[in-house]
Amino acid sequence: MLFLSKKEVPLKEIIPDGYVDIHSHLLPGIDDGVKTIYQSAYILEQFENLGIKKIITTPHVIQQVWPNSSKIITEKLEKLKRVLPSLGISKIELQASAEYMMDDLFYQRIKDNDILPLHKNYLLVEMSTFSAPINLNEILFEIKLAGYIPILAHPERYTFYQNDLKKYDELKESGFLFQLNLLSFSGYYGDQIKAFAKKLVDHDYIDFTGSDVHNYHQLGILQKGFSSKMAEKITTLMNKNKVFA
Ligand SMILES: [Fe+2]
């Protein structure tokens, strides 16, 4: 009997040179990501070993839970960067932006131009996984008026759109770019999201990728890599992040 190999290719072999990760929660204690500087440093060290060139880490900014100010994020980044060399982490570039929930606080921040862009005029935004904001068009209008390009984090996770590609066409046409979570390909969020992630990739909806790593557990899953069938496709996709270098 012939057994087909289902071997996983480790992430280290899939990651292209110069990869920039644009989605993670690695500033300690300000959201549901890492809790200590030690945890940040460990994950950054692993990322460095994977050959990642730069991390733009993106703590949550959510009005009801983590209303992090630009100042808090910047201070946390500086504090972390001060200790990294003494822990032997010196190659990987570390920057901070935010993953902005498109809520009333974000709407106000956009109007006040109190924003930490991801890179140039790109912004990482998210919606609740239960429903889209009722004033989505109004928020998008303000984003564009302020001169930013919104990148929607993990479009594959908004199950309320019921995997309807027409909804995603509308979002694209209205000006959103899409950032897929690599963890979705690992099945971390379930088989349905994994299948939809593949569909979005196969139909060329995805502009960028991100790890969205919050903790050691997710890092471990990511490091295992992906099926050999998908490996090449994922490398091609990851190459698109070079615009953030
Ligand atoms: Fe995130």
What is the tens place of the pLDDT at every residue in 113-152?
Answer: 999 999 999 999 999 999 999 999 999 999 999 999 999 9
CA 245 to chain centre: 15
Q: What is the CATH number of the domain that holds 147?
A: 3.20.20.140
Rounded distance from Cα 101 to ligand 1 centre (Å): 10
In this prediction, residue 7 carries a pLDDT of 80
Rounded distance from Cα 20 to ligand 1 centre (Å): 15
Residue 130 domain-assigned (yes or no): yes
Boundaries of domain holding 118: 8-244
Residue 56 domain-assigned (yes or no): yes
Rounded Cα distance, 57 and 77, in Å: 9
- Count of structural domains, the chain: 1
Rounded distance from Cα 4 to ligand 1 centre (Å): 35
Residue 1 domain-assigned (yes or no): no
What's the mean pLDDT when you consider all of the chain?
96
Residue 2 domain-assigned (yes or no): no
Rounded distance from Cα 84 to ligand 1 centre (Å): 23
Question: What is the three-state SS of 165-220?
Answer: HHHHHHHHHHCCEEEEEHHHHCCCCCHHHHHHHHHHHHCCCCCEEECCECCHHHHH
DSSP strand pairing (226-227 vs 8-9) = antiparallel
pTM: 0.96
Rounded distance from Cα 219 to ligand 1 centre (Å): 13
Rounded distance from Cα 215 to ligand 1 centre (Å): 11
Residue 3 domain-assigned (yes or no): no
Rounded distance from Cα 28 to ligand 1 centre (Å): 14
Rounded Cα distance, 205 and 91, in Å: 32
